[in-house]
Structure 1
Amino acid sequence: MIDAAKVEQHYGQASLIERLRDALKADGFDDRTLHAEDLAPLDQFHSRGLQATVELAQALNIGEATHVIDIGSGLGGPSRYLAATYRCNVRGIDLSEAYVDAARFLAERTGLADRVNYTRANALSLPFESASFDIAWTQHVAMNIADRATLYREAHRVLRPGGRFAIYDVVAASGEPLHYPVPWAATPETSFLVTADRMQSLLLGQNFEIVSWTDCTEAAINWFAEVQKARAARSGTPALALGLQVVMGPGFGEMTKNLARNLREGRAGLIQAIVAKP
């Protein structure tokens, strides 16, 4: 199950739109149409940022006629990237009303409101008919979901035969506990990592077929190191207002440092997977 109240509390419940407006204005984006690259520091809420989204999309066959469901769409960065790059249609669902409202706001600002749509919903009970989508997509969402089998079952249900489920998630890499807080959880109470082997077993148990399975842990470790190096090089210069601290608050820096540490110490890993519904 998902403890909705605790998950929403972690990600924030208050309206984000005024904070987003202020951050956009501070960085000089208040009076022009925005692009994926402009918003990437804010809305690509996963390890390796926009690069990870680009790589996951390139592993799929996406075209203008493709219908995508983004499960756990957050602020909508990946969904807007897909819509802008491939001209496809994307439906995003998220547990947080604040994130849904913010995603709609950013869809308007990017001129993509005709191709992306966001709904507040639970990933374990998707509000769509069976066989509605060509692609199901999720990045850094399952870590908050204890009932992983139902998550995968719902993704399978809403996919058409031959559809693909694209996943980019943190996994448990050893029996050692994580260092907290991390971006998805302040404490172990709302963190439900499984190992890569268990993840694969659960997907196969829901009648998915493995198309590709890529361990991205080393790439993420290197990416975090580059981010830290770039941050050190900018020391003393004003920081950009547009970043995940707008959403997660000043403690987000500690969360990302802990995730990087967990990856380096072999406590966690990163998997990119593409699976298919026969």
Structure 2
Amino acid sequence: MQPDVNNIIQTHYTRVNLSETILAALEKAGKDIHCLTPENLAPIDEFHIRGRIATLELARAVGLKKSMHVLDVGSGIGGTSRCLAEAFGCHVTGIDLTEEYCQAAEMLSARTNLKHLVDFHQGDATKLPFDDQSFDVIWTEHVAMNIPEKLQLYKEMYRVLKSGGTLAIYDVLAGPSGDVLFPVPWARTPESSFLVEPAELRNLLVDAGFTIQDWSDTTDAARIWFVRLADKIKKEGFPALGFHLLLGADFQMMAKNQRRNLEEGRIVLAQVIAKK
């Protein structure tokens, strides 16, 4: 990824003192910050459409097992990594471009007593700092939208995946009905948004060497979920704990635009399982 794009993306996601902000919000929400559970963190942890429900749906479709080592590409503050580790007992390694997210991920994993099952690294997904054939499953949710060099991304995933291993994707793709309305949760402007249409993603995966095993369009479920979220924010304002802590006050406009993008067919959602 080009450095200027990296900088735009890191600026978009970075929040100074994010760990302290999250802990303060948890205390405000009445949680014991010295003894947290992944469920306590759910309103902020699963930073993608449909949250933990979508994560567990994909995990069951993959057939995740305790013996597997998973690489969570674009791990954010570690919510998905912790969810998979807790629910299935597998070891999960996360990598994310944003240093502040990695620090928060480490802190929250320690406070949920999951550090023995998860670890996090700051790095570029198109230059994965791992050996060939290191992982049983490569996992990514709502990440490729920020990455222009998609073929390089999927080639890197293919490289570090064991032979016979599984690639699990849950991502936002370009819809058939026009350009995305900005800002959205993954980008404030088009300069850091790189959506591809479903057919293009299929071609990219095949070109990288993968065999597509299953493809599910989850747009309808995403639309229903986001309508409810946007309506709740409009009526009640921001809760103590929520995605606005990661994205700032303009998350309300992002949510409004995301709802329109879904309702107007400007974006679609796909759950994809591919094999090496």
Fold agreement, TM-score > 0.5 = yes
SS of residue in 2 equivalent to 1:42: helix
Instruction: Report the AA paired with residue 260 of structure 1.
Output: R
Correspondences of 1:1-278 after superposition (within 5 Å): 1-2=1-2, 3-174=5-176, 176-231=178-233, 235=236, 240-277=239-276
Q: Distance in 2 between the 1:137 and 1:177 partners?
A: 27
Query: How far has the Cα of 1:270 moved from its partner?
Result: 0.5
Q: Deviations over 1:165-222 (max 9, x none)?
A: 0001100012611110000000101000000000011001111011110001111111
Query: 2:247 corresponds to which letter in structure 1?
Result: M
The one-letter amino acid of 1:96's match is T
Shift of 1:31: 4.3
Query: Is the alpha carbon distance of 1:184 and 1:239 closer, same or farther for their aligned partners in structure 2, counting shifts above 3 Å?
Result: closer
Q: Could you tell me how far apart the structure 1 residues matched to 2:38 and 2:171 are?
A: 21
Letter in 1 for 2:138: A
The amino acid of 2:241's aligned partner reads: L
- Preserved CA contact (<8 Å) 2:69 2:137: yes
Q: Which moved more, 1:18-27 or 1:123-132?
A: 18-27
Q: Is the Cα–Cα contact under 8 Å of residues 230 and 255 in structure 2 kept in the other structure?
A: no
Identical counterparts, % of pairs: 45
CA offsets per residue over residues 231-265 of structure 1, 9 Å max, x none?
Answer: 56x63xx8531111111111112112211211110
Structure 1 CA distance, aligned partners of 2:227 and 2:241? Answer: 21
Take 1:31 and 1:68, find their aligned partners in 2: how far apart are those partners?
27
2:30 partner letter: G
Count the aligned residue pairs.
Answer: 274
SS at match of 1:113: coil
Distance 1:108 1:99 in 2: 14
Q: Is the CA contact 2:75–2:95 (under 8 Å) kept in the aligned structure 1? A: yes
SS in structure 1 at match of 2:62: coil
Would you say the 8 A contact 2:174–2:197 is kept in 1?
Answer: yes
CA distance in 1, matches of 2:184, 2:201: 20
Which amino acid letter does the alignment assign opposite residue 248 of structure 1? L
Partner Cα separation in structure 2 for residue 89 and residue 148 of structure 1: 26
Deviations 1:138-157 (A, max 9, x none): 00000000110001001000
Does the C-alpha gap of structure 1 residues 187 and 31 become closer, same or farther in structure 2, counting only changes over 3 Å? closer
> What one-letter code is carried by the residue in structure 1 that aligns with 2:267?
A
Gaps in structure 1 of 5+ consecutive residues = none
Q: Secondary structure at the match of 2:77?
A: coil
Whole-Å separation in 1 of the counterparts to 2:33 and 2:134: 37
Contact 2:71–2:92, Cα closer than 8 Å, also in 1: yes
